[in-house]
Amino acid sequence: MIENFLFGILLSLIAGLSTSIGGLMAFVFKDPGPKFLSLIMGFSAGVMIFISFAELLQEAISVYGIFIGSLFFFLGMGIMFVIDLTITHKYHFQEDYFKKECTIDERLTKASLLVFLGIFIHNLPEGLATMVGTLENLQLGIILAVAIALHNIPEGIAVAIPTCASMESEKKGFFWAFLSGMAEPIGALVFGLIFLPFINEYILTALLAMVAGIMVYVSIDELLPVSHCFGNENMSMIGIVSGMFIMALSLSFI
């Protein structure tokens, strides 16, 4: 269990660092391309949705039955809904988003701070999700970490560009993108330190169902709408189906 705990911290750290990749893409590559971003957001949603229903929720149903197991699932969705109502983290990409130079706009100062805080807080339960999955088994933890890492890349872009525009510094834009991702290992560490001594089969399966609810909520509320906002619905659907298909293949070998 201790080994899985340490590995969960490492995986959540790797997933969190992917926001730094987004920060770099925003300024080094300038134009990652809407088709690419639409594809990876759709792929991440496909992975999360499929793994949630085919693996995480099934664990809870097998232990608690479909009614109680589903209640834990909806509890996870409810937690994310409350977070969404309290701290929004909506971000939208314009057609020329990646081609803008850093220019001062006082209105962006507040907006950039809100985007950073929103994404930071929303990343905390994603760190928990990675930790819970890793405590169940290493393969599941890796799958969740990869899915979360993929969708953290556009989040890093969303933090870096408005921060750059409001602070006149690409380095600060990258730094805040990096910092927003550090919520993932923080969430994993805090959860592990508090709950690890009490973990048993019943608590773990209940948490897995809650994680499934969190992942489905993130996919429906964030990943799919943002994937479509790039105007490449076909690439989004290709990503979704590809993510689900690869997860089906992966689970068949676990």
Q: What are phi and psi of 96, to 5 degrees?
A: -105, 25
Alpha-carbon separation of residue 38 from 179, 229, 241 (angstroms): 24, 8, 13
Q: What pLDDT score does 91 carry? A: 56
CB 247 within 8 A of CB 50: yes
Instruction: Encode the chain (254 residues) as per-residue pLDDT tens digits.
Output: 778 888 999 999 999 998 888 788 766 655 556 777 778 778 888 888 998 898 889 989 999 999 999 999 999 999 989 888 887 655 555 444 444 444 444 444 555 666 677 678 778 888 888 898 898 888 888 888 988 888 788 778 777 766 665 555 677 778 888 998 999 999 899 888 887 788 788 888 898 899 899 889 888 887 788 777 766 678 889 989 998 998 888 777 65
**What residue spans define the domains of the chain?**
2-253
Three-state DSSP string of 73-104: HHHHHHHHHHHHHHCCCCCCCCCCHHHCCCCC
Record the tokens describing residue 47, joined without a space.
């992975």
The separation between CA 113 and the C-alpha centre of its own chain, rounded to angstroms, equals 19
Record the tokens describing residue 52, joined without a space.
């949630």
Model confidence pLDDT, tens digit, residues 87-141:
765 555 544 444 444 444 444 455 566 667 767 877 888 888 889 889 888 888 8
| Cα separation, 212 vs 76, whole angstroms | 7
Residue 29: how many other CB atoms lie within 10 Å: 11
